[in-house]
Amino acid sequence: MNLTDQLLGALSQYGLPVLFGVIVIAAVGIPLPISMMLVAAGSFVELGEMKLWQVIVVASAGAVIGDQIGYALGRWGGHRFAERIRRRRNGLEKLAQAQAFAKRWGAAGIFLTRWLITPLGPWLNLTSGMTGYPWPRFFVWDLLGEVLWVVLYVMLGMLFSDRVQALAEVLGNLAWVIVGLIAAVILGWKLLRYLQPAEPLRVEK
Amino acid sequence: MVLGALALVILVTGLFAVRTVRRAIFWRTHRDEVIRPWMSIPYIAHSYRVPPRVLYQALGLSPQPHDRRPLKQIAREQSRSVDEITSVLLDAIARERANRPTAAPPPEPGRSP
């Protein structure tokens, strides 16, 4: 009997506390089958074993709390790491670049990694803390994204309540396809910029 | 290096895309879920579209409302293996379906001819 079976069995039997605990731990970065848990919770709602509003509140709270732990780890634990980068040649410049990037794309990144590009979520929590992304803004985008994620997955679980295993497998694969597509677009864009001259050539009249 | 990374990313993404599509196709044609130790009797009954009573009877149990015990626990209580219980349930499901062949595809409500 594997870990997924153990966790789902516990979810079926004990409900919300298990859902909460697993989601907090997963949000910090330990890989646990949370899409499966959420989809299964949706199915249990449909079967009348769990209440929809309770599942949404508890799962969202777990995810948001776990993300804040990740952010805090990055902010204080990552401090030493950031200090080491700072001491290196061009280190200060690089760190400033990373901070500027986080400021500019942070909101979209935080929001999208909550529900669409979920495999990158824990990583983004750490880097947001490390680059000193403003916490109130992190919290708001995190909350919005996590609630969307929970509602989306629980609804899917309710809709396909008789086939949660198959649904979770498809969703799990799909998440990595999306990550791959985004990585391909970024790399492709970099390659294009590399191949093209930085300044467009001026045509002499 | 960027080119190599791009090729690798496209390859891996392609593999996952193929897996996703194959899963989705398999999913459309195989409606029943494989019975796993985490599933409760009401869930299995729901997934296989049989009344829970049929499954309880097959296991020699009386039907309970809000029974959230996973199969693993029922197996432990009955001192049997999960595999044994699974095969008992599958037999009961097959028998139930054979007795009610017309009831197998669930009617779609709200659709007028």
A72 belongs to a structural domain: yes
B35 belongs to a structural domain: no
Closest Cβ–Cβ partner in B10, B13, B34 for A165: B34
pLDDT along chain A (205 residues), means of 10: 91 96 93 93 95 97 96 83 68 66 78 86 86 91 96 95 88 86 86 72 54
Range of the domain at A98: 3-195
What is the DSSP track for B42-111?
HHHHHHHTS-HHHHHHHTT----TT---BHHHHHHHTT--HHHHHHHHHHHHHHHHHH-GGGSSPPPTT-
Q: Which residue of A has its CA nearest to B25?
A: A170
pLDDT at A140: 96
What residues does B70 pair with on adjacent strands?
Answer: B40
Radius of gyration of the CA atoms of chain B, in A: 20
A205 belongs to a structural domain: no
Q: Do A5 and B13 touch (CB under 8 A)?
A: no
Assess whether B53 and B78 both reside in one domain.
Answer: yes
Which residues in chain A (33-92) have CB-CB distances under 8 A to chain B?
43-44, 46-49
pLDDT along chain B (113 residues), means of 10: 83 88 78 88 93 94 90 94 95 91 51 42
B109 belongs to a structural domain: no
Total tally of structural domains belonging to chain B: 2
pTM confidence score: 0.83
Whether A196 contacts chain B with CB within 8 A: no
User: Which ipTM score applies to this complex?
Assistant: 0.79
Which residues in chain B (84-113) have CB-CB distances under 8 A to chain A?
none
Token pair, residue A134, equals 């403003």
Chain B residues closer than 8 Å to A174 by CB:
20
B110 belongs to a structural domain: no
Assess whether B87 and B45 both reside in one domain.
Answer: yes
Assess whether B46 and B96 both reside in one domain.
Answer: yes
Assess whether B45 and B88 both reside in one domain.
Answer: yes
Measured CA to CA, the distance from residue B46 to residue B72 in angstroms comes to 18
A105: amino acid identity, one letter: W
Can you tell me whether residue B40 is helix, strand or coil? strand
Assess whether B45 and B93 both reside in one domain.
Answer: yes
Range of the domain at B64: 41-102
Total tally of structural domains belonging to chain A: 1
Whether B43 contacts chain A with CB within 8 A: yes
pLDDT at B107: 46
pLDDT at A60: 98
Assess whether B20 and B46 both reside in one domain.
Answer: no
Which among B25, B12, B32, B8 has a CA at the least distance from the CA of A170? B25
